[in-house]
Amino acid sequence: MKNWLKLLLFYLLAMLVIGFVLQTTYKNLRVNILTQRTETQKIAYSSVLQSNKILADTFYHEVLNQEKILALVHKIVHSEGDEQIIQRGLLYRALSATYQRSKKNVVKILHFHFPDNRSLLRFHLPQNVGDDLTDIRPAIALVNSSLLPVHGYEPGRYINGYRHVYPLLYHGEHIGSVEVSNPYRKIYHKVQQLETAQQTQFVFFQKKQGGLEKSFAENELYYVANEIHPDFIRSKYISELFQDQEQKEEIPTEIHNLFAQLKNNPRVQKNMSQGVAFNLSVTNNNKSFSVVFHPVADISYEKSGYLIGFTSEPNIEKLADQFLIYFLLTGTVLLAILIYRASLQSTLEEKKKTEEALKAIYDNKLTGMVTLDAEGFYKQINRQWEVMTGYSRDELLTMNFRDLSYPDEQLQTPIIERLAENVDQQTFQREKRYIRKDGSVFWGELSGTGLYDHHRRLIGMVGIITDTTDRKSAQASLLEANTIINRSPAVAFLWRNEDGWPVDYVSGNVEMLFGYSSLDFRSGKVRYLELIHADDQERVTGEVVSNSQKRTQNTFTHKPYRILTQNGEVKWVNDTTYMRRNPSGEITHYEGVVYDITELKQVENELFENKMHLEDLINEQTKDLENKVDTLETKTGQLEKSEQALIHLVEDVNESRAELQSLNSKYAAINTELKEFAYIVSHDLKAPLRAISQLTHWIAEDYANAFDEDGRMQMDLILQRVKRMDSLIEGILRYSRIGQIRGKMERIDLNELIAELVASIAPPETIQISIANELPVVYLDTLRVGQLFQNLIENAIKYMDKDKGVVEINCTKEENFWQFTISDNGPGISKKYHDKIFQIFQTLSPRDENESTGIGLALVKKIVSIYGGEIWVEAEEGHGTTFFFTLPDKEITDEKH
């Protein structure tokens, strides 16, 4: 593990060093590429400037600095008014054709100036003349004062240009100056053309202080500010003046995307502020670019801008990729070497360990080890064999292995010969005696392993000789101990702690006790547990289990138990067991000494029987006495039992009462919950129903014209159903309320009440309602009683099918109550419906035929039952109906629910 860690650390360190070296090399190469790019651009830029200067010089000398032109300028300078105007026109006329030809490729700006720096004639803007250029065009002022040509970049009122300004002298007289220039963009576009193969895109950023003050206000639309640095702007167009050849600054998006990166680069910001030349490489969308910043100075050597060249640099990308590949390859190779080395080292270490282990085995101090040749002569001996035999190494190396064998055993076939004969066996063991140098004899167990060549011929042997003298002695002692045990009555057992206690060892005398041979036990033919008497097996097993759980105790003695011998004889044995445990404390074996106590047990039984006989005699005498006492006690007991039965009866009654009370409470609670449920549900249902009803009304009204006859019918049907639903809910409410709301118990004159009810119902004239006899005064809740009568009377009216309907109310006094009847001559009710009509929501005709909720009679029944009365109906189909009900004749205080 340590080695691996070391190798890992080494690997990381090495990779760091390699990475550093590769990184440094990569940086150097990248710098080289950037430097080359910078130099190439500088050379291209210089050549363009130089060639432009040559062209300008040529144009000046060959075209402008000519007698005719100078004479015209001289005239303009020395004339005024119309004359000057005409001369200017003539100057334009003289050069116009040449200018038109040359402006496409050679000269775009041709501008004459007065000696006092005023504009004399601009060929690119001829109508604009006379403006003073002293402040905005220092080059002109410089030429007019020094009379020497000036070349360099200078921003202008309309155009930024690379200026070539020459003095004009007419016969030695200074008559002004002339500028033969190109817009600066044309210069770097030419550089760009030279760089076409390299796909360099130049962008010019003009310093605000240099040109913007003069041009920005009126040409603001044509500039973009602060794309890379706040002090610089970039023009989008050359100028309106060159619209015919207008070139919009089209910067490729991939270049434009770099601006933000450069804007956020502190080095760029710092260097641009300082106006120094620099370069850098940037990457966007996995594409590398070199960006070379060329500071551009004006004719006063002031830094006026930056010409920035952006070039796609696939070589930088490739370089980065290559270095990455180098790094990964180096890393992989190094890793492979280190893994190989680590694996080699591991193998060597393993080998060393194996050798050391072998050496340790060879040099052990317990067994002798020898290597013999095919004839049995010693080839190698370990120190222990020297100790065991008493011979020195040198002595042994001259001897044959058989030389040390005990004389009797020299007659046996040597192992080495057996190994030669039995190639497939390869290893033989033999215990035999050897004679030491001092003549003493020791027992040794020889394990010989043959050494064979690839033809399977024996070429030698490796022998391991273990001194077994002590073991031999122990075996002899053990044999003697065994003999003693076998002669004793005690049988020694070694049981495994497994099901049925299989026997691992049993002393030879077992046959004397059990009749089975020791082999019968050890072979598993006989299982010890099965020999234990069936009546004692459970007890013996229990004793073993309980003692086994006592971890602090290793020995226990069973209570004597019986065994069955081979011939079916039952014998009593005593068994003392020792529990043998493994290092974790679990019992692996039981060692037991079992000896026959049958005779002892017989004596013990006889003694017990005598004792029992004596006790029987005593018991008989005692029993007589006890019988007498029992008779007396029985009588007393009977008396006590009667008293006890009475107590139990009272307790049972109390329990039944308590159960009844509990059930009553539960029933009341359930009833209350049900009522509350009905009340809440009904109220909650009514709210949306009201909304449905209202909306349906609105729809029916607002869209009355939109519905045809069917539509209107369906709308009516909806309203009807809603109304029915409302009635049903109202019915539920009333039904649940009738049990909940307890009105005031008061005196009710039923004659008066029913007269009021009939008046409020206002039955049709075809139905006559009569009271057969004087109705009683009752002491009940007016509201409920009113509802009771009203529902029954309304029912009779509602279902009346006769032209002349008769409804009669009657009352008779019974023993403890009043019995009322309300009968009519209506359609009657079939007998099979007599019970159904009192159930809630039950109607006998479809609701569409007769709008009914089916609550009225259920309510009636509930009211009657609240007052402990009964209600029933007698009717036949086609022969009218009579409702009977009873009400209490006394004021009641406790309502039934």
The helix or strand, by DSSP H or E, that contains position 314, with its residue range, turns out to be helix 314-362
Lateral strand order in the sheet of 161-170: 119-122, 109-113, 173-183, 161-170, 150-154
Work out how close the CB of 129 gets to other proteins at its nearest, in angstroms, rounded to a whole number. 5
Region near other proteins per CB under 8 A, out of 125-133, 305-313, 505-513, 716-724: 125-133
Among 1, 67, 130, 814, interactor with other proteins by CB under 8 A: 130
Shortest Cβ 237–other proteins spacing (Å): 9
216 binds other proteins (CB under 8 A): no
Q: Six-digit token pair at 577?
A: 């067991």
- Taking CB under 8 A as the criterion, the residue among 14, 15, 89, 679 binding other proteins is 89
The reply to whether 81 sits near other proteins by the rule CB under 8 A is no
Rule CB under 8 A: say whether 609 interacts with other proteins: no
SS3 content of the chain, % helix, strand, coil (to 5): 50, 25, 25
For the bound state, the minimum distance from the C-beta of residue 162 to other proteins, rounded and expressed in Å, comes to 25
Verify binding: residue 129, other proteins, rule CB under 8 A: yes
Out of 55, 90, 435, 840, name the contact with other proteins by CB under 8 A: 90
96 is a contact residue toward other proteins (CB under 8 A):
yes
C-beta of 716: minimal distance to other proteins in Å?
Answer: 43
Nearer to other proteins, 125 or 840 (CB): 125
**Which residue, 16 or 85, has its beta carbon nearer to other proteins?**
85
Please report whether residue 246 would count as binding other proteins according to CB under 8 A.
yes
Residue 774 DSSP one-character state: P
Q: How far is the CB of 99 from other proteins (least distance, A)?
A: 9
Asked if residue 121 binds other proteins (CB under 8 A), the reply is: yes
Q: How far apart are CA 14 and CA 813, in angstroms?
A: 123
Helix axes 2-59, 314-362, angle to 10 degrees: 170
Return the number of the residue (127 or 631) whose C-beta is nearest other proteins. Answer: 127
Q: Are strands 441-452 and 458-467 parallel, antiparallel or unpaired?
A: antiparallel
Encoded tokens for 196: 């076409």
- The residue (of 76 and 464) whose beta carbon lies closer to other proteins is 76
Which of 31, 85, 339, 478 binds other proteins (CB under 8 A)? It is: 85
CA distance 709 to 26: 93
Instruction: Take residue 17 and report the two structure tokens written for it.
Output: 């060093």
Rg from Cα positions in the chain: 67
Neighbours of 428 (CB within 10 A): 19
Tell whether the torsion through CA atoms of 210, 215, 219 and 220 is positive or negative: positive
Which of 2, 127, 286, 618 is in the footprint of other proteins by CB under 8 A?
A: 127
**Out of 37, 88, 157, 294, which residue is the one contacting other proteins (CB under 8 A)?**
88
Using rule CB under 8 A, residue 97 touches other proteins: yes
Quote the CA–CA distance of 381 and 363 in Å, as a whole number.
9
Nearer to other proteins, 116 or 349 (CB): 116
Torsion of CA 86, 91, 97, 102, to 10 degrees: -140
| Residue 146 CB partners (closer than 8 Å, separation 6+) | 167
- Answer yes or no whether residue 19 interacts with other proteins by CB under 8 A: no
CB of residue 102 to other proteins, shortest distance in Å = 14
Instruction: Supply the minimum distance, in Å, between the C-beta of residue 227 and other proteins.
Output: 20
Closest distance of CB 84 from other proteins, Å:
9
Stretch that binds other proteins, among 86-94, 283-291, 295-303, 473-481 (CB under 8 A): 86-94
- One-letter identity of residue 846: P
- 859 and 871 Cβ atoms separated by less than 8 Å: no
Residue 431 to residues 294, 475, 666, Cα–Cα distance (Å)? 102, 14, 95
Rounded to a whole number of angstroms, the minimum distance from the CB of residue 82 to other proteins is: 6
Measured distance CA(249)–CA(259) in Å, rounded? 15
Q: Is the CB of 89 or the CB of 763 nearer to other proteins?
A: 89
Region binding other proteins by CB under 8 A among candidate stretches 244-252, 308-316, 439-447, 579-587: 244-252
696 near 715, Cβ under 8 Å? Answer: yes
Nearer CB in complex with other proteins: 240/651? 240
Q: Which is nearer to other proteins, 248 or 455 (CB)?
A: 248
Task: Please identify which residue in 2, 80, 243, 706 interacts with other proteins, judged by CB under 8 A.
Answer: 243
The residue type at 816:
N
430 has which bridge partners?
Answer: 446
CB 116 → other proteins: shortest distance, Å?
17
Q: Name residue, tokens 């059990």.
A: 514
- The distance of Cα 776 from the centroid of its chain, to the nearest Å, equals 83
Closest CA to 34 of 313, 257, 324, 317: 313
In angstroms, the CA 851 to CA 611 distance is 103
**Min CB(240)–other proteins separation in Å:** 7
CB 75 to other proteins: min, Å: 12
Determine, following the binding rule CB under 8 A, whether residue 93 of this chain makes contact with other proteins.
Answer: yes
* Residue/partner pairs of 46-49 with CB below 8 Å, 24 or more apart: 47/194, 48/187, 48/188, 48/190, 48/191, 48/194, 49/162, 49/187
Q: Specify the residue, 131 or 363, whose C-beta has the smaller distance to other proteins.
A: 131
Q: Per CB under 8 A, which region of 57-65, 238-246, 297-305, 493-501 contacts other proteins?
A: 238-246
Candidate list 55, 71, 92, 452; residue touching other proteins; CB under 8 A: 92
CB atoms within 10 A of CB 581: 14
Crossing angle between the packed helical segments 2-59 and 184-194, to the nearest 10 degrees:
120
Candidate residues 171, 248, 454, 613; the one interacting with other proteins per rule CB under 8 A: 248
Binding footprint of other proteins, residue count (CB under 8 A):
21
Residue 390 interacts with other proteins (CB under 8 A): yes or no: no
Rule CB under 8 A: say whether 108 interacts with other proteins. Answer: no
For tokens 């049925």, name the residue: 500
**Smallest distance, other proteins to C-beta of residue 122, A:** 10
Binding span for other proteins by CB under 8 A among 123-131, 156-164, 678-686, 862-870: 123-131
Q: Does residue number 169 form part of the binding site for other proteins (CB under 8 A)? A: no
Q: Does 355 bind other proteins (CB under 8 A)?
A: no
Instruction: Candidates 89-97, 196-204, 207-215, 391-399: pick the segment binding other proteins (CB under 8 A).
Output: 89-97
Q: Based on the shown chain and the rule CB under 8 A, indicate whether residue 221 belongs to the binding site for other proteins.
A: yes
252: enclosing H helix or E strand: none
Applying CB under 8 A, does 126 fall inside the site for other proteins? yes
Query: What one-character-per-residue DSSP string does 781-797 give?
Result: EHHHHHHHHHHHHHHHH
Residue closer to other proteins by CB (options 92, 833) is 92
Among 86, 225, 649, 713, the residue binding other proteins under the rule CB under 8 A is 86
Measured distance CA(601)–CA(622) in Å, rounded: 31
* Smallest gap from residue 98 Cβ to other proteins (A): 11
Stretch that binds other proteins, among 243-251, 373-381, 532-540, 798-806 (CB under 8 A): 243-251
Smallest distance, Å, CB 69 to other proteins?
A: 15
Distances (CA, A) of 342 to 257, 332, 337, 354, 831: 51, 15, 8, 18, 108
Using CB under 8 A as the binding rule, whether residue 80 contacts other proteins is answered as: no
How distant, in Å, are the alpha carbons of 698, 754, 785, 787 from that of 792?
37, 11, 11, 8
Q: What is the maximum alpha-carbon separation in the chain?
A: 184
Determine the interface stretch with other proteins among 82-90, 341-349, 704-712, 781-789 (rule: CB under 8 A).
82-90
Long-range interactions of 500-503: CB distance < 8 A, separation 24+: 500/527, 500/528, 500/529, 500/530, 501/527, 501/528, 501/529, 501/590, 502/527, 502/528, 503/527, 503/528
Q: How far apart are CA 191 and CA 45, in angstroms?
A: 6
Q: Which residues bind other proteins (CB under 8 A)?
A: 82, 85-86, 88-90, 92-93, 96-97, 121, 126-127, 129-130, 221, 240, 243-244, 246, 248
